[in-house]
C-alpha cells in the first residue's frame, strides 16, 4: 500500500522553470510539466501536459514531438473531434483550429507531496475573436517514491464555455482519444492488465481498468508505467489502444461517437504508477484497489 501522505516525510522539490514546473526528489528528476504553449516545426501547438516523465532510476520514459507523430506529447489528453452545436470546430489531437492558453499555474508542496494546479483556456483559432470553448482545470499530485514505485495522480476537469460542446475520438473504427502516454518504447515492451499479458492490435482491446507498460527503457534496466483509470471518472473505460512501436498508448474515451459535456463538465481521474519493473500483476491489482478505495494513499 502507498504510504500515507500526511505521515510521510517528503524530500520532493518543486522548481518553476521558464516553460512550466520541474519536480525532483533527492536530486533525481521526477517529471516536468509544460505549461507554456509549444510548437513543433511551427505547428502542432500544445500546452498543459507532462514531459519528461522519468523512471525511478532517471531514464526518460516519454517523448515530445517525435518525428513519426509530431503531435504526440508525453502524458497528455486530447481528442480529434471538438464539436459545437453538432459541427466540428477544431481538432485537439492535431492542434488544428484550437490553441491552449494557460491562465494560471500554481505549484508547491503540501502534506508531503508535490502538486501542480493548472488552469487553461481552449480557444478556437478559426474565428476572428478566438472564443473560448472549454476551460480546463488540472490537478497533478506527485507522491514520494517507495522502494519500488511512485504514484502520480491526475484530476482533469473540462468545463464547456459554449452551448452544445462535445468531444470525440478519431472518427474511425479505432476511435482513439482521451488520456494518452507517448512512451519511448523499448523493443521488449510488454502490456499487462489484470492477470494476463495483452497483445497489441490495430483496433481497441478490452482489458481491466488498468494497463501496465514495462520494458528495458533508456538505461537498459527494466522499468514500468501503469495507468489506473478510476471507476468514478467520467472517462471510466476498459478499452485500450496499444502500440508496440512509434506511437502512443491510450485509455479510449469516449470513442468514435462524440459525447456532450454537461454544464458542470467532465471530471477525469487517473493514477500513474512509475515502478522499477518488479511489480507483479497481483501487486498492481492491489495498488489499483488501494487507489479506488483510498484515493489519498
Q: Supply the mean pLDDT for the chain.
A: 94
Q: Domain of 235? A: 13-293
In which band, very low, low, confident or very high, does the pLDDT at 296 lie, cut at 50, 70 and 90? low
Residue at 7 is within a domain:
no
Residue at 5 is within a domain:
no
Work out the average pLDDT over 23-31: 96
Answer yes or no: is pLDDT of 74 > 80.
yes
Count of the separate structural domains present in the chain: 1
Among 74, 192, 80, 81, smallest CA distance to 140 is for: 74
pLDDT for position 126:
81
Residue at 6 is within a domain:
no
pLDDT for position 128:
78
Work out the average pLDDT over 157-163: 98
**93-112 pLDDT, tens per residue?**
999 999 999 999 999 999 99
pLDDT for position 129:
87
Residue at 8 is within a domain:
no
Regarding pTM above 0.75, the answer is yes
Residue at 2 is within a domain:
no
pLDDT for position 182:
98
**186-210 pLDDT, tens per residue?**
999 999 999 899 999 999 999 999 9
Q: Is 43 helix (H, G, I), strand (E, B) or coil?
A: strand
In which band, very low, low, confident or very high, does the pLDDT at 297 lie, cut at 50, 70 and 90? low
In which band, very low, low, confident or very high, does the pLDDT at 252 lie, cut at 50, 70 and 90? very high
Q: Are strands 190-193 and 98-110 parallel, antiparallel or unpaired?
A: unpaired
Residue at 4 is within a domain:
no
Residue at 102 is within a domain:
yes
In which band, very low, low, confident or very high, does the pLDDT at 171 lie, cut at 50, 70 and 90? very high
Work out the average pLDDT over 164-189: 96
Answer yes or no: is pLDDT of 4 > 60.
no
8 Å CB contact between 3 and 144: yes
pLDDT for position 220:
72
Residue at 46 is within a domain:
yes
> In sequence order, what are the residues at sequence separation of 6 or more whose Cβ sits closer than 8 angstroms to the Cβ of residue 91?
80, 81, 82, 97, 98
Work out the average pLDDT over 6-27: 85
8 Å CB contact between 225 and 183: yes
Q: What is the CATH number of the domain that holds 221?
A: 2.70.98
pLDDT for position 127:
72
Work out the average pLDDT over 258-284: 97
Bigger pLDDT: 3 vs 32: 32
pLDDT for position 221:
84
Amino acid at each position: 500500500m502507498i504510504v500515507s501522505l500526511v505521515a510521510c516525510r517528503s524530500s520532493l522539490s518543486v522548481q518553476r522553470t521558464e516553460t512550466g514546473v520541474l519536480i525532483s526528489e533527492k536530486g533525481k528528476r521526477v517529471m516536468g510539466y509544460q505549461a507554456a504553449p509549444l510548437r513543433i516545426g511551427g505547428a502542432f501547438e500544445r500546452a498543459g501536459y507532462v514531459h519528461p516523465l522519468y523512471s525511478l532510476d532517471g531514464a526518460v520514459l516519454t517523448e515530445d514531438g517525435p518525428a513519426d507523430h509530431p503531435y504526440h506529447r508525453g502524458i497528455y489528453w486530447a481528442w480529434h473531434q471538438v464539436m459545437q452545436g453538432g459541427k466540428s470546430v477544431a481538432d485537439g489531437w492535431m492542434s488544428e483550429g484550437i490553441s491552449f492558453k494557460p491562465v494560471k499555474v500554481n505549484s508547491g508542496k503540501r502534506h508531503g507531496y508535490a502538486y501542480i494546479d493548472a488552469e487553461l483556456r481552449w480557444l478556437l483559432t478559426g474565428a476572428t475573436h478566438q472564443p473560448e470553448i472549454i476551460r480546463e482545470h488540472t490537478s497533478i499530485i506527485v507522491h514520494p517514491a517507495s522502494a519500488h514505485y511512485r504514484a502520480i495522480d491526475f484530476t482533469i476537469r473540462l468545463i464547456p464555455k459554449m452551448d452544445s460542446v462535445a468531444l470525440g475520438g478519431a472518427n474511425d473504427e479505432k476511435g482513439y482519444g482521451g488520456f494518452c502516454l507517448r512512451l519511448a518504447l523499448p523493443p521488449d515492451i510488454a502490456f499487462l492488465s489484470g492477470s494476463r499479458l495483452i497483445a497489441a492490435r490495430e483496433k481497441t482491446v478490452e482489458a481491466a481498468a488498468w494497463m501496465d507498460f514495462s520494458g528495458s527503457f533508456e538505461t537498459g534496466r527494466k522499468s514500468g508505467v501503469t495507468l489506473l483509470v478510476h471507476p468514478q471518472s467520467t472517462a471510466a473505460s476498459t478499452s485500450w489502444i496499444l502500440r508496440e512501436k512509434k506511437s502512443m498508448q491510450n485509455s479510449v474515451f469516449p470513442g468514435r461517437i462524440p459525447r456532450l459535456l454537461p454544464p458542470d463538465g467532465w471530471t477525469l481521474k487517473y493514477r500513474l504508477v512509475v515502478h522499477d519493473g518488479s511489480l507483479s500483476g497481483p501487486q498492481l491489482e492491489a495498488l489499483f484497489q488501494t487507489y479506488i478505495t483510498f484515493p489519498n494513499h
